[in-house]
């Protein structure tokens, strides 16, 4: 790309939406596939019109363009060494139509969010890929996604209603318009004529038509969807359906309207273990006929891996696996009565199977979870345990159902023949769709040659069974050289004509779907250099990205790991450039909320790694200062309250300008300590030691001298540890701590507050800032002060801020081994959980006093604590209608992180704030806004302009 091309690109996209910065190019170069190309420029898409201008400019210049959204595709569809267009950032709108019967989505909308939006209507999208937590509608359409239950009838292709399509010429076509075909004929006459000609040719050739009908009778994402020529008459509709599964090589999907399917929330599951693959596959047809919506196959190697999982069902752990094969069978229904009928029909079918162990359908959520843990844990078990430097390569194929037993057996022999002894075979048995995973070293020429030989044998095996080399994951780069072999010369030529008609200049994703180079699948392979013991397991799947609060601001967990790997592999000049950007892009703007570990299939805590890197940056004097602050925390918090009092007297604009000016001249290290604040900074709150007990039954107790832990048992029901953030930042009400104490009084519960509470803290602030010495000092103080009050762990320790509860729960990380062992006996519980379990049952709540509406923001710490449902239960006790925005996530405040980097909170709350604003435009403002952590309440207040309070404050007010 020369200077003129770049200038034209900037003119088309907008100066602010094109980046050539190395950190932006590198962090988006990696996706979930095993291919790596680094773009020369990254364009952030903002609208269909902007993308149309970009494509028109690229077509004139012959400049290759590739689209990328979630980056979860596995076959190399989303990588390029030219222009990468990122569609995730701004194009994520979702609109429910016809009471949920249809839904209109922009390409950046995450599938899980779309389904959450549809849930109140009892509907969902048909495609249900394993990547639903992260993949986007753009990818669902571009790859013709299916999944566990969609089969061939609820795929993206089959449920497509219409598209807003941008062609490489810049033409924008909405296929929902009644005159769409006439518009296509007028604006793109050659394309319209060509599609009509190909339609007539394919329909008139019985042999070609028969091949197409066979190929698409199976799940099939290999090549282009030539069945569109048989299924639709008008060229505009043919084009729309050709685009489904075309992987961004024919046009850009700016909007998709899809028909939905009923959501079936009631389920019953059985795990059927057979002593041979033949018996297992013989059972698929009767199980399907009896109403199974899912029949998942696990081969003997899968069973052996699964048996090592402590979550595995007992029936699986008891089997001495030899040639065994299992089928995981599930029924789903809209209500319990329908499920009961389905279970009655399935039970005799199960009884008639030749099983190696008894099997029965269960509706129990725990039992079902253990069964599904077997299936879903396979990827985690194999990918997480792979040797360092190897790639987790997950593949899929499909064959006609009759060929499934022989194919599984042959594949089971083929994999070890090429050295893939640890490979597992599993998949969607109902559709004869098999997945398998291998772990090759792609930095070793010998291993690459082995992989090449294996691929050739795999192609022969699958095509010999009259199957398809791609059922779900898309052709991409990995199977592009084999499209001709699967379809034959004539149909391959039709596909080439389709590409030439839509993209005459060949600028869209060259090398994807069609490539005549027989070795194309062996070029641009991605290697995995070791970067850090915690992150080396990363498979770059991108599942972590939707939950990351910095995803719209700087980098995501995957991108942080990618940058770490690139710095290891790069030469000195590139390494220095990346390292210079890494501090801000990765370390300092990480909220360190660790939500990434909840989404990561191999359980990587990238937040923890970023905190480690912060700690490495803290020199001895800084560590000593942190320890000193911990030793004198009462004086430190008093000083902070004094500073807040001074700041409160300064006009907001002056305060904001002053802190911004100071930060501008400070270095990056100092900027991580100097907050940027303004008019939304709260004033100082009341010290915890001055919390006024409503009555004497709520005592402030000191730890008794000596070993007298037992004598407090009759004096209080719980030890209360009010969080220091509540004593620093005042709110509009009485505060969470005071509300909790009053609620306990009304419920007849007695609570002890440690006498030296002003000197204590959960320690999260030190851990977050990488101040290990201070964290250890504070942990020791807390453990010594609190242990006796908890009566040796028999009395719960309750905290009123979820982040602090989470910090207290993990305090043993900073304790000596003896103290850690003792601390492990302390039952730390959040105030909202305690309120649900102990306060609400004893509290008289007058329904007439409940608020009409309440907007609730769960916190990342509530997720870690498993307290989200407790939060909602308390909220529902306080309000008749409780709303949790579909797009809620970590607010990015992260203690003081949002004050140090306001852009982090702004990016993190963007979607949630917009969703609340839209709801308010429709139904008016909510009666109240609540959360369960003081700094999160501050962050949400700043983001929405609404006064967020602790949910216990709301409950306390309506029970006065």
Please enumerate in sequence order all residues whose Cβ is within 8 A of that of 305, keeping only pairs 6 or more positions apart, or say none. 378, 381, 382, 424
Burial 568-598 (b: 16+ CB within 10 A, else e): eebeeeeeebbeebbbbbbbbbbbbbbbbbe
Q: 58 with 64: CB under 8 angstroms?
A: yes
Where residue 667 falls among pLDDT bands split at 50, 70, 90?
A: low
Query: How does pLDDT run across 398-417, given as a tens digit for each residue?
Result: 999 999 999 999 999 999 99
Cβ-Cβ contacts under 8 Å for 204 (sequence gap 6 or more): none
Largest CA distance in the chain: 96
Classify residue 525 by its DSSP letter.
B
Look at residues 391, 380, 379 and name the one whose alpha carbon lies nearest to residue 450.
391
Instruction: Please give the C-alpha separations between residue 6 and each of 15, 24, 167, in angstroms, as whole numbers.
Output: 10, 16, 21
Contact 256, 160 (CB under 8 A): yes
DSSP annotation of 751: E
Give the confidence band of 377 by pLDDT, cuts at 50, 70, 90.
confident
Confidence of residue 384 (pLDDT cuts 50, 70, 90): confident
pLDDT tier for residue 670 given thresholds of 50, 70 and 90: low
Residue 663: what pLDDT?
63
Where b means 16+ CB within 10 Å and e means fewer, 924-955 reads eebbbbbbbbbbbbbbbbbbbebebbbbbbbb
pLDDT at site 644: 78
Neighbour-count burial of 161, counting CB atoms closer than 10 A to its CB (0-12 exposed, 13-18 middle, 19+ buried): middle
The Cα 474–Cα 478 span in angstroms is 9
**Is the pLDDT confidence value at 698 over 60?**
no
Q: How buried is 16 (Cβ within 10 angstroms: 0-12 exposed, 13-18 middle, 19+ buried)?
A: exposed
Among the listed ranges 314-328, 601-615, 783-797, which one has the minimum average pLDDT value? 314-328
Strand order in the sheet with 851-856: 879-883, 851-856, 929-931, 948-950
Min mean pLDDT across 467-481, 759-773, 838-852, 946-960 is at 759-773
Mean pLDDT of all residues belonging to the chain:
91
Q: What is the pLDDT of residues 612-646, one digit of tens each?
A: 998 888 888 888 888 888 888 888 888 888 887 87
* Average pLDDT of the segment spanning 641-654: 75
- State the residue for tokens 């911990």: 630
Reported as a single tens digit per residue, the pLDDT across 145-179 is: 998 889 999 999 999 999 999 999 999 999 999 99
Question: What is the helix (H) or strand (E) element at residue 856, kind and residue range?
Answer: strand 851-856
CB 720 within 8 A of CB 740: yes
Over residues 539-550, mean pLDDT = 93
Whether 659 shows a pLDDT value over 80: the answer reads: no
pLDDT (0 to 100) of residue 714: 53
What is the distance between the alpha carbons of residues 950 and 955, in angstroms, rounded to a whole number? 9
Q: Quick one: pLDDT band at residue 269, thresholds 50, 70, 90?
A: very high
The mean per-residue pLDDT over the stretch 742-771 comes to: 90
Sequence-ordered list of residues with C-beta below 8 angstroms from that of 654, at least 6 positions apart, any chain: none
Q: Which residues contact residue 755 at a Cβ distance below 8 angstroms, ignoring those fewer than 6 apart?
A: 689, 700, 701, 702, 703
- pLDDT over 50 at 699, yes or no: no
pLDDT of residue 704: 47
Q: Which residue has the tokens 């993990």?
A: 810
Range 772-791 average pLDDT? 90
CA 456 to CA 345: how far, in whole Å?
44
**How are beta strands 41-44 and 83-86 bridged, if at all?**
parallel
Long-range contacts, 704-709 (Cβ 8 Å, 24+): 704/788, 708/788, 709/787, 709/788, 709/790, 709/791, 709/792
**What gap in Å lies between CA 248 and CA 280, rounded to an integer?**
38
**Which single residue is written with the structure tokens 């849930």?**
119
Instruction: With cut-offs at 50, 70 and 90, classify the pLDDT of residue 607.
Output: very high
Tens-place pLDDT, residues 213-243? 999 999 999 999 999 999 999 999 999 999 9
Cβ-proximal residues to 474 (8 Å cutoff; 6+ apart), any chain:
73, 74, 75, 77, 142, 143, 144, 221, 245, 247
CB neighbour list of residue 690: distance below 8 Å, 6 or more residues apart: none
Q: Copy the structure tokens of residue 159.
A: 């449920």
Taking residues 548-566, report their average pLDDT: 96
Percentage of the residues of the chain whose pLDDT score is greater than 70? 94
Range with lowest mean pLDDT among 37-51, 302-316, 714-728: 302-316
* Residues 6+ positions from 110 with CB-CB distance below 8 Å: 70, 92, 133, 134, 135, 136, 546
User: Which whole number is the average pLDDT over 699-719?
Assistant: 55
Look at the block and give the residue holding tokens 């291993």.
Answer: 447
Q: What is the pLDDT at residue 705?
A: 45
Q: Quick one: pLDDT band at residue 711, thresholds 50, 70, 90?
A: very low
306 band by pLDDT with thresholds 50, 70 and 90 = confident
The answer to whether residues 504 and 95 touch, using CB atoms and an 8 Å cutoff, is: no
The pLDDT of residue 43 is above 70: yes
What pLDDT score was predicted for residue 707?
Answer: 42
Name the residue with tokens 């994520």.
92
Q: What SS3 class is residue 554?
A: coil
pLDDT tens-place string over residues 880-935: 999 999 999 999 998 888 888 889 999 999 999 999 999 999 999 999 999 999 99
Residue with structure tokens 């809620």? 888
The predicted structure's pLDDT at residue 166: 97
Helix (H) or strand (E) holding 187: helix 180-187
Share of the chain above pLDDT 90, in %: 74
């Amino acid at each position: 790309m020369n200077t003129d091309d770049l200038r034209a690109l900037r003119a088309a996209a907008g100066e602010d939406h094109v980046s050539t910065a190395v950190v932006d190019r590198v962090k988006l170069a990696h996706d979930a596939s095993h291919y790596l190309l680094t773009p020369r420029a990254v364009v952030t898409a903002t609208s269909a019109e902007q993308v149309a201008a970009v494509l028109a400019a690229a077509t004139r210049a012959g400049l290759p363009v590739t689209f990328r959204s979630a980056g979860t595709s596995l076959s190399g569809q989303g990588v390029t060494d030219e222009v990468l267009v990122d569609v995730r950032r701004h194009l994520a709108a979702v609109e429910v139509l016809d009471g949920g019967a249809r839904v209109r989505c922009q390409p950046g909308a995450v599938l899980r969010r779309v389904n959450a939006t549809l849930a109140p209507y009892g509907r969902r999208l048909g495609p249900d890929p394993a990547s639903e937590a992260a993949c986007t509608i753009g990818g669902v359409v571009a790859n013709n996604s299916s999944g566990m239950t969609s089969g061939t009838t609820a795929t993206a292709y089959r449920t497509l209603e219409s598209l807003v399509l941008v062609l490489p010429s810049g033409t924008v076509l909405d296929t929902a318009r009644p005159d769409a075909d006439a518009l296509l004929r007028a604006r793109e006459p050659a394309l319209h004529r060509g599609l009509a000609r190909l339609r007539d040719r394919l329909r008139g050739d019985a042999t070609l038509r028969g091949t197409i009908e066979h190929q698409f009778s199976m799940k099939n994402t290999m090549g282009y969807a030539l069945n569109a020529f048989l299924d639709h008459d008008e060229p505009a509709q043919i084009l729309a359906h050709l685009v489904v599964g075309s992987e961004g090589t024919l046009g850009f999907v700016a909007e998709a309207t899809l028909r939905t399917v009923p959501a079936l929330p009631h389920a019953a599951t059985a795990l059927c273990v057979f002593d041979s693959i033949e018996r297992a596959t013989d059972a698929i047809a009767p199980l399907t006929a009896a109403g199974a919506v899912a029949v998942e196959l696990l081969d003997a190697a899968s069973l052996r891996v699964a048996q090592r999982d402590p979550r595995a069902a007992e029936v699986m752990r008891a089997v001495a696996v030899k040639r065994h094969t299992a089928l995981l069978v599930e029924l789903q229904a809209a209500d319990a009565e329908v499920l009961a009928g389905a279970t009655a029909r399935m039970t005799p079918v199960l009884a008639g199977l030749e099983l190696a162990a008894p099997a029965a359908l269960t509706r129990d959520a725990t039992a079902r979870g253990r069964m599904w843990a077997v299936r879903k844990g396979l990827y985690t078990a194999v990918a997480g345990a792979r040797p360092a430097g190897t790639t987790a390569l997950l593949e899929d194929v499909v064959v006609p159902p009759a060929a499934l037993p022989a194919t599984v057996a042959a594949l089971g022999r083929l994999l070890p023949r090429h050295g893939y002894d640890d490979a597992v075979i599993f998949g969607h048995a109902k559709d004869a769709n098999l997945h398998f995973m291998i772990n090759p070293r792609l930095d070793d020429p010998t291993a690459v040659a082995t992989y090449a030989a294996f691929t050739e044998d795999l192609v022969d095996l699958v095509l010999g069974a009259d199957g398809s080399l791609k059922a779900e994951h898309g052709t991409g780069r990995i199977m592009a050289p084999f499209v001709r072999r699967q379809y034959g010369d004539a149909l391959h030529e039709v596909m080439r004509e389709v590409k030439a008609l839509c993209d005459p200049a060949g600028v869209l994703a060259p090398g994807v779907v069609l490539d005549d180079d027989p070795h194309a699948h062996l070029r641009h392979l991605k290697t995995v250099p070791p970067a850090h013991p915690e992150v080396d397991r990363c498979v770059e799947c991108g599942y972590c990205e939707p939950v990351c609060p910095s995803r719209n601001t700087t980098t995501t967990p995957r991108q942080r790991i990618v940058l770490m790997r690139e710095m290891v592999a790069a030469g000195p000049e590139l390494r220095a450039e990346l390292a210079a950007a890494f501090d801000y892009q990765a370390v300092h703007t990480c909220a360190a909320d660790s939500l990434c570990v909840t989404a990561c299939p191999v359980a990587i805590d990238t937040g923890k790694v970023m905190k480690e890197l912060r700690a490495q940056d803290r020199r001895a004097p800084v560590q000593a200062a942190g320890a000193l602050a911990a030793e004198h925390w009462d004086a430190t918090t008093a000083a902070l309250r004094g500073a807040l009092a001074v700041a409160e007297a300064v006009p907001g604009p002056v305060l904001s300008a002053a802190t911004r000016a100071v930060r501008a001249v400070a270095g990056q290290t100092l900027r991580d300590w100097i907050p940027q604040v303004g008019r939304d900074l709260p004033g100082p709150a009341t010290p915890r030691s001055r919390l006024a007990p409503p009555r004497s039954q709520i005592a402030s107790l000191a730890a008794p001298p000596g070993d007298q832990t037992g004598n407090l048992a009759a004096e209080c029901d719980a030890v209360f540890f009010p969080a220091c953030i509540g004593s620093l930042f005042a709110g509009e009400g009485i505060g969470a701590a005071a509300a909790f104490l009053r609620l306990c009084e009304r419920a007849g519960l007695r609570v002890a507050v440690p006498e030296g509470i002003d000197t204590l803290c959960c320690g999260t602030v030190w851990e977050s800032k990488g101040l290990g010495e201070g964290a250890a000092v504070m942990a020791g103080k807390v453990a010594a002060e609190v242990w006796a009050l908890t009566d040796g762990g028999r009395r719960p320790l309750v905290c009123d801020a979820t982040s602090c509860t989470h910090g207290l729960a993990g305090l043993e990380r900073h304790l000596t081994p003896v103290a850690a062992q003792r601390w492990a006996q302390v039952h730390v519980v959040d105030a909202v959980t305690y309120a649900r379990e102990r306060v609400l049952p004893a509290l008289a709540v007058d329904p007439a006093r409940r608020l009409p509406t309440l907007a609730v923001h769960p916190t990342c710490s509530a997720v870690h604590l498993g307290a989200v449902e407790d939060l909602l239960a308390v909220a529902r006790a306080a309000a008749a209608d409780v709303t949790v925005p579909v797009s809620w996530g970590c607010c990015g405040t992260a203690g003081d992180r949002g004050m140090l980097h306001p852009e982090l909170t702004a990016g993190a709350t963007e979607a949630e704030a917009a969703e609340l604003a839209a709801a308010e435009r429709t139904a008016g403002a909510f009666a109240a806004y609540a959360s369960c952590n003081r700094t999160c309440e501050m962050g949400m207040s700043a983001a929405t302009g609404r006064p967020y309070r602790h949910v216990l404050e709301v409950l306390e007010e309506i029970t006065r």
